[in-house]
Structure 1
Amino acid sequence: MFKHKYHFIFLVLLNGLFFGCVEPFDAATEDFESALVIDALITNEFKHQVVYLSRTFRLEDGISSGESNAAIKIEDSQGNEYVFQESVPGTYVSTNMFSAQPNVEYQLSITTSGGSSYISNSVVLPTNTSIDNLYAAVETNDQNVEGVAILVDTFDPEGESQYYRYDYEETYKIVAPRWNPQDLIVVSESPVIYGFAPRPREEQVCYNTVNSLNIILGNTTGFSEDRLTRFPIRFLDRFDYIIGHRYSILVRQYVISREAHSFYTTLNEFSGLESIFSENQPGFFSGNIIPQNDPKEKVVGFFDVSSVDSERIFFNHEDFFPEDLVPTYPDDCRITTPILGELFGAINFNTSKYAGPHEPEDASEGIYKLVPRVCGDCTVLGSSTIPDFWIE
């Protein structure tokens, strides 16, 4: 399940909105006002739905805290009630699996441990529109950089969808360029004796998964038909190491309401540092959640009910750039040949990996080649567990 990627942007943005003024930016927040942040999305997927609660934080603290011990429920217009329980601080999961249904109104209600109550506007599920095509193509971006663009085509012949949001989860293969099947180990510390042992786990090939953090919005209101063609989701420089071997991306398309699109658009406009920390802040903006105890209380969030569809694709670097070398690894993997006195720390503290034997030219060189651990052990950058969905 995707965690909402805009959740962190919520928190950073809100601090800018709450504490911004017409004076030049000062990182210290003297007049701090704690506010509840509500991140709630239910979809037409049959699953345990999730609601996130947190609090705004001081910019100098740099960390948010989950809002614990709240009572959360969603009620629908057919008399059903869905109760949520806290799984970890600030994360509330529905006790029963359910999916949003067409032509049914849903309303979120929250009561915090301090007795403050909040209720959302009633929301209905938008039309379900599938992704027609998810694909990758070689393109040159606005910065004149050549790479691979991830693109989506979608079409609603009834013209009822119009507003879309996207997020993605990308997974890529990592191959340690200086991996060696043998580990150099310290057999004895007094006297210091070195030996070799087979690698205890897979450290040559790994996989890393990263979720999108930006808010990707599309709409067709100004078009002659409800169609998005070659809509850009992601751009990858041809020399980006994450597409150096094999790459996969799972894209999720949410059909959202006009109100949700407006909210996310506003959030997007002020999600850059230039806007958040500018001298003139736009002031507070709210979503569709209303405080019941104090109408003047600041609360931000949006209760979103969306239909969702997803598609996944895979490709190799050579599919698009067959004549390229493998893109540059995150480390230059410089080989060192430490003498015995320096070797102990590098091996014992696992900061370097054995890369092979060395014939020293003088006393300043040792008999072993070492590389930074990241170059000989891919688990620094990912997991050696092959994802369940992975296809070679």
Structure 2
Amino acid sequence: MPANRYYIILILLVLVSKACIEPYDPIINETQEVMVIDGVITDQAGMHQVTVSISSPYGEPEFRPVGGCVVSVQDDLGNVEFYSENWETKGVYEAWLDEPFLGVGKSYSLQVVAPSSNVYVSDYDTLLSCPPVDAVYYTQEQSGGTDPDDIWQGIQFYNDVRGFDGGTRNYRWKAIATWEYRSPFTAQYVRYKGQNIPYIVDSVSACWMTETIETVYAASTQLLSENNIFQNKLHYVSDQTPRLAQRYSLLVEQYSLTDQAYTYWEKLAAQSANSASLYETQPSSSQGNIYNANGSSEKVLGCFYASQIQDERIFVEWDELSFSAGAYTCRLDTLFNNSTFMYDKYYYLISLNPLGPGPPWMGGARKCFDCTERGGDNEIPDFW
């Protein structure tokens, strides 16, 4: 009898452990298409955008535009500005706005008339003053798991805020990264159908790539005695990427938010932090301050808000770091004059002959020699 009890317990443990490791496959019944409307009014003169789209299914985030809308923004004085749909990008509506329409302390409301004749309106949102970015800085930090082989070096960016009375106590940050990278090799010739064509192009050895960081950063001082934030955690860059191999820059844009707008962005920040866990969410998968003005209970996603923007840029030089960044690797092949390898394709060559250009050659794909092939631009940015 004790032996039988032992085997029963053992079987139960096996069944329980098996159940624990079964992947959780959630059943999602929400298939309804929902309007998604996003827009922002800032204090900065320039082109302002409003996007109108339809929600995408869970796990398949994509922009599904709604064209043919009439989009306008009204301020608290009754002034109205109309937006025009971008002729290249359906669902994106633009208007050039400047003073006196823009101004700190003013409030704004968005109206969208859809092709269905539904009218969508936002609550008025006030453009609050925003303090300057007090500081943007980084520290060298390790990241990864507990296994030493899974630990890597990198830099963690932070920023500080020193607010003032009468200004916002709610903040959102957008991080935009730019980095310089180089081609691993410089070609001397291009081979095509057995012929070596001289190739002298120095302008494709250095490029710059710019990327908006998708992570949402938001914080509030409403529950703090002072309107200050220190060591607000932003973007992390590891040594597993070659982005730190030359020069790296991070532009931090700081936005003022009303309480209502902050509630929306706080939800998005939580989704941004957890989107890789159970569900993959689409942009603007939270309900904000926009509603159907026809009296319908229709759910509308997205938010329209007003904000003053302050920004600060930081540069990171490769020789400031105590570790080496990852390298971009490219495979080259050895070729001789009678080689028919890649005969019908362009192949970029380097001569290994110590007496001058000639065989043997090392050759490879264009991306090993032309930095623009990796997606960047070879025109140096103005701020660089």
Query: If the length of structure 1 is used for normalisation, what is the TM-score?
Result: 0.79
Q: Is the 8 A contact 2:351 2:361 kept in 1?
A: yes
Match of 1:51 in 2: 50
Q: Is the 8 A contact 2:130 2:167 kept in 1?
A: no
Match of 1:110 in 2: 112
Say if 1:142 and 1:185 are closer, same or farther in 2 by CA, change over 3 A. Answer: closer
Say if 1:141 and 1:127 are closer, same or farther in 2 by CA, change over 3 A. Answer: farther
Q: How does 1:1-392 map to 2 (within 5 A)?
A: 24-25=25-26, 32-58=31-57, 63-87=62-86, 88-98=89-99, 100-141=102-143, 145-158=152-165, 160-180=167-187, 182-186=188-192, 189=193, 193-200=194-201, 202-271=203-272, 272-276=275-279, 286-293=287-294, 295-321=296-322, 324-325=323-324, 327-330=325-328, 332-338=329-335, 340-345=339-344, 348=345, 350=346, 352-357=347-352, 367-381=360-374, 382-390=376-384
Deviation at 1:57, TM superposition (A): 2.6
Match of 1:11 in 2: none
Runs (5+) with no aligned partner, structure 2: 1-23, 146-150
Separation in 2, partners of 1:92, 1:286:
20
Q: Secondary structure at the match of 1:269?
A: helix
Whose radius of gyration is greater, 1 or 2? 2
Deviation at 1:128, TM superposition (A): 2.0
Say if 1:159 and 1:103 are closer, same or farther in 2 by CA, change over 3 A. Answer: closer
Deviation at 1:64, TM superposition (A): 2.7
Deviation at 1:51, TM superposition (A): 0.8
Say if 1:378 and 1:66 are closer, same or farther in 2 by CA, change over 3 A. Answer: same
Letter in 1 for 2:51: Y
Separation in 1, partners of 2:257, 2:59:
35
Separation in 2, partners of 1:147, 1:167:
20
Letter in 2 for 1:185: R
Deviation at 1:138, TM superposition (A): 2.4
Q: Is the 8 A contact 1:355 1:371 kept in 2?
A: no
Q: Secondary structure at the match of 1:127?
A: coil
Separation in 2, partners of 1:48, 1:72:
14
Deviation at 1:354, TM superposition (A): 1.7
Say if 1:221 and 1:96 are closer, same or farther in 2 by CA, change over 3 A. Answer: closer
Letter in 2 for 1:308: I
Separation in 2, partners of 1:336, 1:204:
20
Q: Is the 8 A contact 1:159 1:226 kept in 2?
A: no
Separation in 2, partners of 1:139, 1:47:
38
Deviation at 1:337, TM superposition (A): 1.8
Deviation at 1:293, TM superposition (A): 2.6
Deviation at 1:338, TM superposition (A): 4.5
Separation in 1, partners of 2:259, 2:59:
35
1:63-100 CA distance string (max 9 Å, x none): 43221111111111112111111113111111543463
Q: Secondary structure at the match of 1:85?
A: strand
The alignment's C-alpha RMSD in Å is 2.7
Separation in 2, partners of 1:59, 1:146:
34
Q: Is the 8 A contact 2:159 2:233 kept in 1?
A: yes
Separation in 2, partners of 1:131, 1:65:
35
Match of 2:9 in 1: none
Q: Is the 8 A contact 2:191 2:349 kept in 1?
A: no
Separation in 2, partners of 1:45, 1:141:
37
Q: Is the 8 A contact 2:42 2:102 kept in 1?
A: yes
1:207-265 CA distance string (max 9 Å, x none): 11111111111222333311112222212224531011011111100111122121122
Deviation at 1:140, TM superposition (A): 3.7
Letter in 2 for 1:355: I
Runs (5+) with no aligned partner, structure 1: 1-22, 279-283, 360-365
Say if 1:86 and 1:389 are closer, same or farther in 2 by CA, change over 3 A. Answer: same
Say if 1:288 and 1:230 are closer, same or farther in 2 by CA, change over 3 A. Answer: same
Q: Is the 8 A contact 1:203 1:376 kept in 2?
A: yes
Deviation at 1:38, TM superposition (A): 0.7
The structure 1 segments of at least 4 consecutive aligned residues displaced by more than 3 Å after TM superposition are 23-26, 29-32, 58-63, 95-100, 139-146
Separation in 1, partners of 2:64, 2:223:
41
Separation in 2, partners of 1:41, 1:123:
10
Q: Is the 8 A contact 1:337 1:358 kept in 2?
A: no
